[in-house]
Structures are given as structure tokens and as C-alpha cells.
Amino acid sequence: MSKGFASTYRIVLLAACTLACFVALGARLVFLHVIDREELVRFVDKARRQIIVESARRGDILDARGSILATSRSLIVLGVDPQSLRPEDEKKWPQLAELIGLPLPELNRILFTRSRPAAPANAPSSASPSASPAGLVINFSLDRAAAVTASAATAKISPVAEAESDDTVLDENADEHGERLIRWAKLSETVEESVYGRIQALDIKGVYGQRVYRRAYPHNSLAAHVVGYVNRAGDPAAGVERYADFYLHGRDGWREGERDGLRRELAQFRTREVQAADGYSVKLSIDSTIQHMAEEEIEAIAEKYSPEKATIIVSDPRTGFILAMANYPTFNLNEYNKVSKEALGSMRNVAVSDMYEPGSVFKIVAASAALNEGLVTPASRFDCSADKIDYLGRTRSLPGEDHHFDEPLSVAEIISHSSNRGAAQLAMKLGDQKFYDYARAFGFGQLTGFPFGGEIPGSMAAPAKWDGLTITRMPMGQSVAATPLQMHMAMSVVASGGYLLRPQIISEITDASGEVVYRYGAVTKQRVITAETARTMARLLMGVVSDRPTRYGAEGTAPAAAIPHYEVAGKTGTSQKYLPEIMANGTTRLLPSKKHHVASFVGFLPASRPQIAISVIVDDADARAPGGVAYGAKVAAPSFKHLAEQLIAYRNIEPVFNSAGRTVALLEGARR
């Protein structure tokens, strides 16, 4: 064979090599497309597929006039992947530190920290993302980047542990040194949109942000116990925020598509897309102006008397809608996580979560019931000088009086002079069960239906559990415990014309375009007394604030609540607090204190056509009260008057008097 041709051996070798290559390639293709197909498909999905979740914007909470009480701000949570940083960008770090308000040494520490020791095998991994909290836009790519973003979003879970949380996301697997690379570390969670634009202009590779919605409360502590708050994890924690979360939260949107090697979305490859639907807005019956007036008044009480706590409630007695609910102490909604453990009580809505003995305000129950049953008239008289009385075959001790009455008192005088013995005798006219039934009908011993705030039902024992003195003590507001809201709604029974209404605080639900989705109206729970009885009681309660002299001095117990030319109806209350005392034998008992009281005044105006009901309840103001005892007439009644005078001007409430100074239509139209 000519030397110009390859030998047979070489040709065979070349053919064998070529064949081997084709066989190897075929085997590889079989391996890739058949044997290991599922794993490779997952790898490709990780490299290209992505699901982007776009969280809905949480709806606003508005007051009765449309002012914003709670809203959602668009912010950027800024983070860094330390593995992606470029050396040439280091000169830009001082500008970045200045933009996000982070000290440069701290920024350097975060950027230079590239890994951490691997956690034990049974320890939870921060690289395993859980459900996204509301208000975050998270790339749920099926690779590391998605885990980084999702885990960063769920880093904060508890407001208490917020300062101690670890805002880093680690790689899934440890390297040969037993360490896991840091794939995401948080730099700031409050970057404004405009600032983020400037950060993007720096073009620092590895630094990127995710848009979040953070809850903001423009009025800080205004109506804090009503509005509630949303914590950093996006969970509604209290108040309207929690109760109406179904409406406020909205519906998250998402889209599925692909991305390129630089992790940029390829819009042309989107396969599915669902638009986010913003949450509905919730409009309250709370009027910010009235709420501000109530909170200013309660601050004045706190400054003057330093009470343990205090509550002011303002409502429209014709509908049951709450116009203001103020508590002392209170807290700033924007700084809920800064409340110390010692001050956690300030976050409790004491208007519905705490109870007290209502004292003499409770006398409206016995008087209203006896009048409603036709057992007495306003002129019926009772001997209030006796200290004992026969009842159901037994001699019962009557409670003491603040004043001595030489002559029998009429029912009208029992109310205006707040006679304890007179109230007890009115209840005895009714009998145990009938009196108890009326107290229940007025709303005591049961929930009012207030939709949120941790409401409790109060405490009122059934007649089967009464002792021999209960029928003489409960009518004066002892042996019964109520929440401030229960007492307020009970007085509103008289103001509403005899109906027990459910307290309402949400007036409307509106969608993102402002269209009303649902409108709330007045809810009547039951009729308690007749309209005629309600009108009579309103007239009798006007006597409490009268300053006309009588044989026993001033006509009423609370002339300090009187407003010239206006019909003010109401009742004072002063109840002793039960505090633990150590007895001679070493045991501890709860006994009524002579130095610690709850002072209250609950009333409404104008008496003949009620438009406003106000409750002022002050707990333990004795230390700085006149004479060392916090009487309702001295501590609560003046605040009622001051607040009522402001509301008269604000709500344009006209007096119900003619030119001669007489009532035009006393107690007319108590029911709308």
C-alpha cells in the first residue's frame, strides 16, 4: 500500500474512537433525557422558572369624617448578598451608608461577613422559606435567590424579639470548612422609595431591595385601643386591625414566568398572572375631633389626680354608635414594640376589659324597674331614716347614708339625693328575681356585643347565690361588677327611649374605589323599659345636676355637671375598691377600702331629645382628690361638663328652652 494512505490499523482506531464518542454521547443523552430527567428538569426550573408574589396593599382605617387613622406606607427592605459584591464598588459604600443612615463601620461589618458556622443537623434552617407575611413582594424562584428573599421577608416574627432577630439568610449547604455562606443580610427595612432610587443609581452589585407595605398611624396614640396595630411580621394584633383583617388584608397576586442568567424577568415568557386586589377600607363611627377632646380631658384628669386608670366614652344614644373611647394610660401605635413589660397594661382597652363596682349610677336599674312595673310613681315616698327593714320574713340591715333624712323621700328625691336605703327599698318592691331580671335586661352580667378589645361580661350572681344582704347592697351598685362600656350602655337605655342597643364602632366598609360594600346600622338588642318610663327617668336624672336649694341643701348630688340652658341628665357614682388586707390571724381578705375609690359620672343631653351620652370613670384618684376621697361629683362630674360644653359647640346642639327659661317639650322624642 502506498505510503500516502493511512494504515488499516489507524483507520480502525479512528473509527473505533469515533464510534466510542457517538456511543458515549448517546449514553449521555439517554442518561440526561431518560435516567436523570426529573433531576435535570428541576435544575432547569431552578435556573429559569420563577413565581413572583405581589402582596395586596392593606386597606385604610378611617374615622367618621374620612380622616386616616391607619394606612400603609410603601417602603423598601434593603439587603445585600455578600458573595456578589465587587471590589470596585467598595468606594461607593460610604455613600450607601449615608443614604440608609447606617454607620459605616457597621455597614462594613455586614458586607465583609461572608459566612457562618453550620448549624447542627437538627436545627431549623433559615434558608427554608415559609409563608410570606402580608405586605411583602417576594421572588419565589426555585433556587437560592428565592430562598434568600423569602427567608429575609419572614425574619421578623415577634415584636418582642424584634431587636434580637437574626436578619441573615444562609446557603443551604455547608462548605468544606463547615461554614454556610451568607446569601442575604438586611441593611435597612425603612428605605423610602425615593432613596431607593438613589441607591440603585450607585449600581452596587449584590445590594437590592424588596418593596413592602408598613402600617403607619398618622395620629400616633389617638384611639389607640380602638384602632389596634399590625406588627412587623404583618400580623394584626389588636383592635379594628385584627377584627376587620378579613376586609383590610386584601388578596395577594402572583405571576409565573422565566428569567435570564442575570435573574431578570423575561416578560414574554409569563404563563400565568393573577392581579393583586387591595384591601377594603374600614370607616369607623369614631370622630377624631371628639376623640381628641376626650383624650385631652382624660390627660387633664391624669395630670390633676394621677389615677391608676381612667375611661371616657362618648356615643350617640339614639344609635349606639361610639363617637370616642379614650383610656388612660395609653400608648403610641407607631411605637407599640417600645412599650416596656411594666407598661403593658397601657395596651389594654380598660373600657371593655376591666370591671369595677359601679356604685350609685347603678341605682337607675331599681328606679327604672319599679316605675316600669307600676309599683311606684315619682312621688311615692319611702322612709330612708330606718337602718333595718323586714323583707320576706327576715329583718335586713339597710346600708348607711351619706346624709341623714328626717322625712320620707320621694322616688325623685331618692335619685337626686342618691339615697342608698331608698334604692334598696325600690329593689325590694320588685323582689329578688324581678330585680335581677331587670339588671340583666339593662345589660349587666353579659357581653355588650362590642366587636373587639377583649371584652369581659362583668360579674353579677344569680339570686340563688345571694346572701341576706345582696338585695340591699346590689341596688346601690355593690355586689355587682361592670365594665365602663356596660354602665354606659345601661344609661343609654334611658336616653334611647327604653331600648338596649348594641355598641357599634364600624360604620362602613368601602372598596379601593371608595364604593360602599357594606353599611352598618343601629342594632336593638331588646326593649327594657317603656318610652314613658324612659322619659320619666330622664326627668328624674335631671334632678341630680340641679342646683336649686331644697330642705336637704342642693337639689342634686352633682350640680358641678349642670350646663346653663341645657337639660343635663345623669348620675354620680362613688364606689369603694376591694383591696387585700392581712388579718390578725395572718390570712388575707379582700375588704372595701376607705382610701381607694372609683369615681364616675354617666349622663346624657339634652334630656328631652338625647343626642350625646358621656361616661367619665376615674379609678383611684383619692391621693390628690379634695378631702382625700375621690367622689364622682367632685372628680368625674366637672370633666363631664367640660367635655359636654365642647360637644355642644362642635355638634351644634341647641338648648331646649324658650325665652322664659322653661323647658319647651321636656323629654319629648327620646326615641328617634
Distance, in Å, from the CA atom of 184 to the CA atom of 127, rounded to the nearest integer, reads 10
User: Domain ends where: 241, 260, 280?
Assistant: 280
Claim to verify: residue 119 and residue 169 sit in the same structural domain: yes
Distance, in Å, from the CA atom of 618 to the CA atom of 359, rounded to the nearest integer, reads 12
Distance, in Å, from the CA atom of 96 to the CA atom of 90, rounded to the nearest integer, reads 10
pLDDT tens digits for range 512-559:
888 999 999 999 999 999 999 999 999 999 999 987 765 545 578 899
Claim to verify: residue 369 and residue 499 sit in the same structural domain: yes
Mean pLDDT, range 2-15, rounded to an integer:
73
Distance, in Å, from the CA atom of 68 to the CA atom of 282, rounded to the nearest integer, reads 10
For the chain, give the mean pLDDT.
84
Claim to verify: residue 547 and residue 503 sit in the same structural domain: yes
Distance, in Å, from the CA atom of 232 to the CA atom of 134, rounded to the nearest integer, reads 10
- pLDDT over 70 (residue 268): no
Of residues 156 and 586, the one with the higher pLDDT is: 586
Claim to verify: residue 298 and residue 272 sit in the same structural domain: no
Claim to verify: residue 102 and residue 247 sit in the same structural domain: yes
**Among 448, 385, 440, 444, CA closest to 413:** 385
Asked whether residue 670 is domain-assigned, the answer is: no
Taking the alpha carbons at both ends of the chain, their separation in whole angstroms is: 124
Mean pLDDT, range 603-610, rounded to an integer:
96
The total domain count for the chain is: 3
Residue 446: how many other CB atoms lie within 10 Å: 12
Domain that includes residue 21, residue range = 8-35
pLDDT of residue 645: 97
User: Domain ends where: 247, 262, 280?
Assistant: 280
pLDDT of residue 158: 32
- pLDDT over 90 (residue 600): yes
pLDDT tens digits for range 334-367:
999 999 999 999 999 999 999 999 999 999 999 9
Confidence of residue 614 (pLDDT cuts 50, 70, 90): very high
Beta carbons of 189 and 77 less than 8 angstroms apart:
yes
pLDDT of residue 138: 30
Confidence of residue 669 (pLDDT cuts 50, 70, 90): very low
Mean pLDDT, range 231-248, rounded to an integer:
92
- pLDDT over 70 (residue 159): no
- pLDDT over 80 (residue 165): no
Asked whether residue 668 is domain-assigned, the answer is: no
Classify strands 281-284 and 61-62 as parallel, antiparallel or unpaired: parallel
- pLDDT over 50 (residue 131): no
In the chain, % of residues over pLDDT 90: 56
Of residues 432 and 54, the one with the higher pLDDT is: 432
Confidence of residue 12 (pLDDT cuts 50, 70, 90): confident
Across 576-580, 591-595, 611-615, which has the greatest mean pLDDT?
Answer: 611-615
Write phi, then psi, for 453 (nearest 5 degrees).
Answer: 110, 10
Look up the CATH number of the domain holding residue 589.
3.40.710.10
pLDDT of residue 586: 79
Asked whether residue 635 is domain-assigned, the answer is: yes
Claim to verify: residue 400 and residue 497 sit in the same structural domain: yes
SS3 113: coil
Distance, in Å, from the CA atom of 136 to the CA atom of 353, rounded to the nearest integer, reads 34
pLDDT of residue 154: 34
- pLDDT over 60 (residue 231): yes
Least confident of 59-63, 396-400, 514-518, 585-589: 585-589
Asked whether residue 662 is domain-assigned, the answer is: no
Mean pLDDT, range 424-450, rounded to an integer:
97
pLDDT tens digits for range 98-116:
999 999 998 888 888 877 7
Asked whether residue 203 is domain-assigned, the answer is: yes
Claim to verify: residue 195 and residue 318 sit in the same structural domain: no
User: Domain ends where: 235, 255, 280?
Assistant: 280
Asked whether residue 329 is domain-assigned, the answer is: yes
Claim to verify: residue 182 and residue 149 sit in the same structural domain: yes
pLDDT of residue 280: 95
Claim to verify: residue 228 and residue 322 sit in the same structural domain: no
Look up the CATH number of the domain holding residue 248.
3.90.1310.10
pLDDT of residue 418: 93
- pLDDT over 80 (residue 671): no
Claim to verify: residue 199 and residue 324 sit in the same structural domain: no
pLDDT tens digits for range 487-512:
999 999 999 999 999 999 999 999 98
Asked whether residue 193 is domain-assigned, the answer is: yes
Claim to verify: residue 475 and residue 361 sit in the same structural domain: yes
Mean pLDDT, range 55-76, rounded to an integer:
92
Asked whether residue 663 is domain-assigned, the answer is: no
pLDDT of residue 32: 67
- pLDDT over 90 (residue 242): yes
Give the chain's radius of gyration (CA, Å). 36
Claim to verify: residue 206 and residue 317 sit in the same structural domain: no
pLDDT of residue 147: 34
pLDDT of residue 46: 53
pLDDT of residue 41: 60
pLDDT of residue 219: 96
pLDDT of residue 129: 37
- pLDDT over 50 (residue 213): yes
Least confident of 8-22, 388-402, 562-576: 8-22
pLDDT of residue 157: 30
